[in-house]
Amino acid sequence: MNDEKRSIKVSKRRIRDLKTFKLAAEIRLNDVEIELEKLTEEDIEAGWGEAFEREWDMLSHTFEMASEVSRMFRA
């Protein structure tokens, strides 16, 4: 396999992986938002609020980076 075909194959696989990640991240972001809305005062004191907020931040930033990489592959 020549370098060009290998590069195209790797790029297609990367795009597929990014799409899969973005779908999973969207689902998890929705779940985290629901969990944040359901938190009780006791849950917040136990640290769940901070944990869910950190997860939401990490997922949303990673989602944005994956979107940018997807755009780069399409260019």
Taking the model in full, what pTM does it have?
0.78
62: how many CB neighbours lie within 10 A of its CB?
A: 13
Both tokens of residue 19? 């799409």
Both tokens of residue 41? 């005062």
Contact call for residues 59 and 24 (beta carbons, < 8 A): no
pLDDT at residue number 1: 64
pLDDT at residue number 45: 95
Beta strands in the chain (DSSP E): none
Residue spans of the chain under pLDDT 70: 1, 75
Q: Exposed, middle or buried by CB within 10 Å (0-12, 13-18, 19+), for 47?
A: exposed
